[in-house]
Amino acid sequence: MKIFLDTANLKSIRMYNDMGLLDGITTNPTLLSKEGGDPHKTMEEICSIIKGDVSLEVVSTEYSGMMDEGRRLRKYGNNVVVKCPMTPDGLKACKSLTAEGIPVNITLVFSANQAVLAAKAGAKYVSPFIGRLDDIGQDGMGLIREIHQIFQNYKFKTQILVASIRHPVHVVDAAKIGADVVTLPPDVLGKMLKHPLTDIGLKNFLADWEKLKAEDPNIRI
């Protein structure tokens, strides 16, 4: 399973990329606005840092605008995947951009029906928002199971990119189901790194090493 970071924060991107953890990035207008500054420079920098796919989102809601923006976004790098919304115009743009060799991530997916239509339109990725479904009392991870089964039944090449992840348990559940990608906020990826027993174990190992050094100050690893 691939791990994408859902952010436009360059510091977080560099930190986790240096650990070898990132397969790609997803962004949206909200995340770019949160970071401030020139969004064009931010997108350019992200595409230079990350070798894998970088999803950059259109803001137009009609077909011709999505096409123009999609082509401009692709100029930031050959690793750019254009994010289009799950709307009739978004699907039309997906088909056209894909025909031009520009991969598309269909975003704001909340049902298996929508996921099937995105796959039929040729999307490289489909992004179901599981956390937002959980927020309204629906089963977000159940949707991932449905989409995964349908895509397997018909051998769709579209990859399931699990979005709106709220905690590390979502990541484990997505991996068990067989989702292709999870995209995580930096704080969730940070939580995945940690476990209290790791901290306790390291503390004990270092304490025991200090005992050895007390007996022989010249000892080294």
Per-residue pLDDT reduced to its tens digit, 36-49: 999 999 999 999 99
- Tell me the pLDDT of the chain averaged across its residues: 97
Active-site residue 95, yes or no? no
CA dist 126 and 19 (Å) reads 27
Query: The pTM is what?
Result: 0.95
pLDDT score recorded for residue 221:
86
pLDDT tens digits, 73-131: 999 999 999 999 999 999 999 999 999 999 999 999 999 999 999 999 999 999 999 99
Question: Residue 136 pLDDT > 90, yes or no?
Answer: yes
What is 2-194's CATH number?
Answer: 3.20.20.70
Which residue among 11, 41, 83, 191 is the active-site one?
83
- Of the candidate ranges 52-61, 71-80, 133-142, 206-215, the one whose mean pLDDT is the lowest: 206-215
Task: Sketch the domain layout of the chain as residue ranges.
Answer: 2-194
Average pLDDT of the residues in 2-23: 98
CA dist 83 and 94 (Å) reads 9
CA dist 117 and 154 (Å) reads 13
